[in-house]
A and B are shown apart, each in its own frame.
Chain A
Amino acid sequence: MTIHQLSIFIENKAGTLQKVLDLLSEAGIQLIASTIADTVEYGIYRIICSEPTRAYTCLKEAGISVSLSDVFAITLDNQPGRAAEAVRVLSSEGIGITYMYSFLLGDKGILVFRTDNAERTRECIILNRLSFVAEKDLSTLI
């Protein structure tokens, strides 16, 4: 029910993001979505990509501080109010969202997020029949 996400710890310094992107490019990895917040000293660059496991190994071997984690990704119709409905499913259950980002893919909207309670999130997604992206679906997204 979850997908792999790469999280890369990068120093807030010119050129550090470039290095990560160059490594992924050389390895032929394709980005699907990515996000980075602006903080004073460092950032966590989060990436959904093709072949996350291979991307992880490739970055790690290059000495990049990287981790591979599981995040939820649900697909929504590209209509106003869909994201609000999806989030309400979680918030009404008292589940907190740690972070979230979204992107459009074709005619679908995709919400990527992590919560403070993975087990209950899974239950919620199943009980409310939310449509989710699984790891094996990633390659078909591209």
Chain B
Amino acid sequence: MYLHPEFETLSRSEIKDLQLKRLKDTVRHCMNSPFYRQRFADNNLTPEDICSLEDLQKIPFTTKQDLRDTYPFGMAAVPLEKCTRLHSSSGTTGNPTVILHTEKDLQEWAKAVARCLYMVGLRPNDVFQNTSGYGMFTGGLGFQYGAEHLGMLTVPAAAGNTKRQLKFITDFGTTAIHAIPSYAARLHEVMESMGIDPARDTKLKTLVIGAEPHSEAQRKRIEEMLGVKAYNSFGMSEMCGPGVAFECTEQNGLHIWEDYYIVEIINPDTLEPVPDGEVGELVLTTLNREAMPLLRYRTRDLTRILPGECPCGRKHVRLDRMKGRSDDMIILKGVNIFPIQIETVLLQFPELATDYLITLETVDSNDEMTIEVELNQLFTDDYARLQSLTRDITRVIKDEILVTPRVKLLPKGSLPQSEGKAVRVRDLRKPY
């Protein structure tokens, strides 16, 4: 039941010992990164100051802003010629972020993903279909390499074209799918319309869901609809991508691989650690990354460590479902979007006023974004020009955030005026 028993069956004290050894190596290795060399010098720190896991607290946090400031290669701890892959965040607002990988990083990443998939019962005789977007989105290549490493027949179906997905599922005997939760619901919807019965016409048994917030009730719905077990996956591009934490067959919390990461949960306001079991911001330190080690990276994801031991026997701590974000990032269809990206686009249009409202809602089990924006003044009395303005705004936003919004023009002054901090995002998404 373990793909890597040498790591998965470690006791707490063995995990701590391994973490300390790897932390010391990581901190030493960080001195090859221009960013961390400077950071340590600025704080009068040397790698020798890190002698225990508690000493980690001496190291300042690393933030997404640090990644932006060092764009593109300022974080790298190896020469660029040793790197074999680059992933970058979407968007052109400010600097995007870049994550570099060496060949070894990619292997370790694939191993971590494979460990997760093995943990939920997937084996080389399974057929794994990945409905993630490929390209820069790490859910694509991340699961591809992980599933291949495990030895499964892996179908890089990529996103969309639901009828084709269903043809693959039935023709190739797909047993496991990776999908964002809303897409799993969509698959079922199309199955119904095509008269496909998941139990009778497919071999589906496992679903891997992640990258999109969802509730336990939503998971149960998906499991019943498709007749599968659905397991939560957690990852982020800064930590390679998927494979950071994953549910075991207990489906109660996501084991985070502590041979890969040191986990801290902090209060995002005071930056102090929160007591065990309380919700706070997840902070991660990588323990085996070559190209871009990250020390105390603030993920902005809010969660907590589940107290107690997991009946599965693994001693790697479990994270609760993500409770939200400590920043204003929106996750729509698995894509990370910051409202500032949309605001920046809107500001390029002199026809528009500065107020806008982003609404996320579920329409026919599809999550959609509507952007309402006020016209600065009526620059035309021609419908055609208003329509072409709407089209232009939609296109430029799509280019920026990779999701097509519905853009709605409003007369000036019609958005609700807020007192104090403006409300820019309304999330009305429903469980399906």
- Residues of A at the B interface (CB closer than 8 Å) are 5, 7-11, 16, 37, 39, 41-42, 44, 46, 63-67, 69, 98-99, 114
Contacts and interface: CB of A to CB of B under 8 A. Distances in A.
A87 to B, nearest CB: 19
B10 interface: no
A70 to B, nearest CB: 10
Contacts of A41: 408-409
Contacts of B386: 9, 42, 44
- For the complex of A and B, the 9 pairs showing the least CB-CB separation, nearest first, are A7-B381, A65-B411, A67-B378, A63-B413, A65-B378, A9-B378, A9-B411, A65-B412, A69-B381
Contacts of A98: 382, 384
B408 A44 contact: no
Nearest to A37: B383
A114 B412 CA distance: 25
Nearest to B390: A41
A64 to B, nearest CB: 7
Interface in B362-394: 375, 377-384, 386
A122 B386 CA distance: 26
A60 to B, nearest CB: 8
10 contacts: A7-B380, A9-B375, A9-B409, A42-B410, A44-B383, A46-B381, A65-B412, A66-B378, A67-B377, A67-B378
B378 to A, nearest CB: 4
A66 B410 CA distance: 12
Contacts of B11: none
Contact of B414 (A11, A44, A69): A11
B177 to A, nearest CB: 36
A95 to B, nearest CB: 16
Given A11-B410, A64-B411, 16 more contacts: A9-B378, A9-B411, A37-B383, A39-B383, A41-B408, A42-B386, A42-B410, A63-B412, A65-B377, A65-B378, A65-B412, A66-B378, A67-B378, A67-B379, A69-B381, A98-B382
Contacts of B381: 5, 7, 44, 46, 67, 69, 114
Contacts of B380: 7, 67
A101 to B, nearest CB: 12
Contacts of B378: 7-9, 44, 65-67
Interface in B390-432: 408-414
A133 to B, nearest CB: 18
A65 B375 contact: yes
A8 B377 CA distance: 10
B370 to A, nearest CB: 10
B278 to A, nearest CB: 45
A31 to B, nearest CB: 17
A108 B146 CA distance: 80
A67 B386 CA distance: 13
Q: Report which residue of A7, A9, A41, A114 has the largest number of chain B beta carbons within 10 angstroms of its beta carbon.
A: A9
Contacts of A114: 381-382
Nearest to A66: B378
Contacts of B411: 9-11, 16, 42, 64-65
A5 B378 CA distance: 13
Contacts of B383: 37, 39, 44
A7 B104 CA distance: 65
Contacts of B413: 63
Nearest to A63: B413
Contacts of A37: 383
A88 B375 CA distance: 36
A69 B375 CA distance: 17
A66 to B, nearest CB: 6
Nearest to A44: B381
A97 to B, nearest CB: 12
A69 B378 CA distance: 11
Contacts of B409: 9, 41-42
Nearest to B375: A65
A9 B381 CA distance: 8
A11 B374 CA distance: 10
A96 B154 CA distance: 58
A41 B409 CA distance: 8
B380 to A, nearest CB: 7
A41 B427 CA distance: 21
